[in-house]
Amino acid sequence: MSQARKARRSPQSRPGSRSRSDRPATTRASRAVTSPAGSRDRDPGQDYFRWTSALFDHTKVFDKPEALRGIRVLELTTLVLGPTTADFLGELGAEVIKVELPPRGDTMRFVTPEGSFWKNASMGFFPENHSKYHVGIDLHANEGKSLFRQLAVKSDIMVENFRAGTLDSWGIGYRDMQEVNPRLIYVADSGFGQWGPFAQGRPSYDAVAQTVSGMIGISGFPGRPPILCGIFIGDWFGGLLAANAALVALHHRSKSGEGQLIDLAQSEGLVRALDWTWVRAGLTGGDRRPAGNRDESIGVADILECRDGHVALAAGSDAEFRGLCAALGMAELASDPRYATLEARQQPGHAVAVLGRVREWTKGLTRAEVETAAAKHGFAAARVATARDKYTDEHLRARGSVWDYEDPLYGRMVEHGPGPKLSETPARIKWAAKPVGWHNQEIFTRLLGLAPSRIKALTEQKVIGQWAEIPGARPPADWTPDHGRI
């Protein structure tokens, strides 16, 4: 049994791992949380939440099957867009083989906050590279391309995010892969798509996608420069769309037996997320302008200052607005014709006026006091949280959205847990990202049947390779070959 497979079964790498013998009893118990039949004192809400808590218990994730187990993804990507596509599929159980060009590998290995590395790893590389097998192949060499094609023959999905046409020019693009594996689903992530006037030869980064999509044009405050979104939103949302398309293509293949080419343009993914911005322009010719943190479609919604920080507050419905007025001690505002209905509050002048009153109210309160008032009176409010707030958040930890686990190479790891919670086939993280070429021996032996002598020869010819001795690509400083590769 491979060291990597042992690691997946290690109780240390599982939050609250239990044996499979526990599962039937757990499943029965989670479905039997009910009150006595006919009880008039039963609290349906409490029973429901107790039932869902047991049903989705994240300590039992590794006792349940994986939805995409048996599906293999071949990944040849860099930075964020392509890696997230494969990562979403891997969280759901697909086996992901990440091919990198040795010795430096994925550029994201060197994209890290303030140039800092943790145990020789980039903190920017971990979030989109969970549970993957890392292989180093020089794809400029003909023998390297041959190895890559052999892996493609044994794969269900291939993901790449090079500039449009690059892999085609290397002889490993969709048309080449289709010849060796007609069932292959080929996901081509890029900035601007695989065809069209803007597609050829143009690199893209997340900031470029935000700009081209029109997203930055509606950000920021009136009369001031646009503001870039603080995360790689084009990459993460694009990766989610691409992974979703790959699942649809798998479903189609199950009926037709045919693979297909998926073209995901990062900038167009963001266009799809810009709600009424483009619709309004197309139907009325009206252009959306920056409005700061105020939500123009809700009216009374903004980020507001408190004594100890900021809160997001929203009162969209008439009932919520009445509750907000009660909290303000200004119940009469709810019957004022300027504010009595959502349509009236959506008028810019009316919204700004009432938000001025709300702003003065929150300035004299703490974030907790605003949240308490919101819970009491039925409108929405939540403090602007920091990463530290979320790391210690009791709710997120209870749900497994803060994923605290032991990795065989890095030790204790804390990462974002999977987003969607599936009751019967939950997503999971099995191990952290690894150095360049970490799993060469296992993949080339297990999947391609190469003898150790052949792997050694290809390594000496630099067709197969591993990490450079630089931070970002190499293992932690205290690792030695004697420790093995888990």
Please report, for the domain that includes residue 230, its CATH number: 3.40.50.10540
- Does any domain span residue 312? yes
- pLDDT for position 348: 86
- Does any domain span residue 406? no
Whether residues 118 and 238 share a domain: the answer is yes
CA 397, 402, 406 angle in degrees (round to 5)? 110
Boundary (domain end) residue, out of 328, 350, 385: 385
Residue range 297-347, pLDDT digits in tens: 898 999 999 999 999 999 999 999 999 999 999 999 999 999 999 999 999
Whether residues 308 and 378 share a domain: the answer is yes
- pLDDT for position 12: 37
- Does any domain span residue 48? no
Whether residues 213 and 173 share a domain: the answer is yes
Q: Which residues of the chain have pLDDT under 50?
A: 1-39
* Residue range of the domain that includes 98: 72-272+433-483
Whether residues 200 and 106 share a domain: the answer is yes
Length of the chain: 486
| Domain count of the fold of the chain | 2
Whether residues 264 and 341 share a domain: the answer is no
Whether residues 95 and 167 share a domain: the answer is yes
- pLDDT for position 300: 94
- Does any domain span residue 60? no
Whether residues 440 and 367 share a domain: the answer is no
- pLDDT for position 27: 35
Whether residues 133 and 80 share a domain: the answer is yes
Whether residues 267 and 310 share a domain: the answer is no
> How many Cβ atoms sit within 10 Å of the Cβ of residue 479?
16
- Does any domain span residue 106? yes
Asked if 266 contacts 209 with a C-beta cutoff of 8 angstroms, the reply is yes
- Does any domain span residue 90? yes
Whether residues 206 and 85 share a domain: the answer is yes
- Does any domain span residue 84? yes
Q: What would you report as the CA-atom Rg of the chain, rounded to the nearest whole angstrom?
A: 26
- Does any domain span residue 21? no
Whether residues 204 and 314 share a domain: the answer is no
Retrieve residue 266's tokens: 């990062």
CATH, residue 366: 3.30.1540.10
Q: Please say if 106 is a catalytic residue.
A: no
Question: Catalytic: which of 235, 263, 302, 407?
Answer: 235
Whether residues 106 and 186 share a domain: the answer is yes
> How many Cβ atoms sit within 10 Å of the Cβ of residue 282?
9
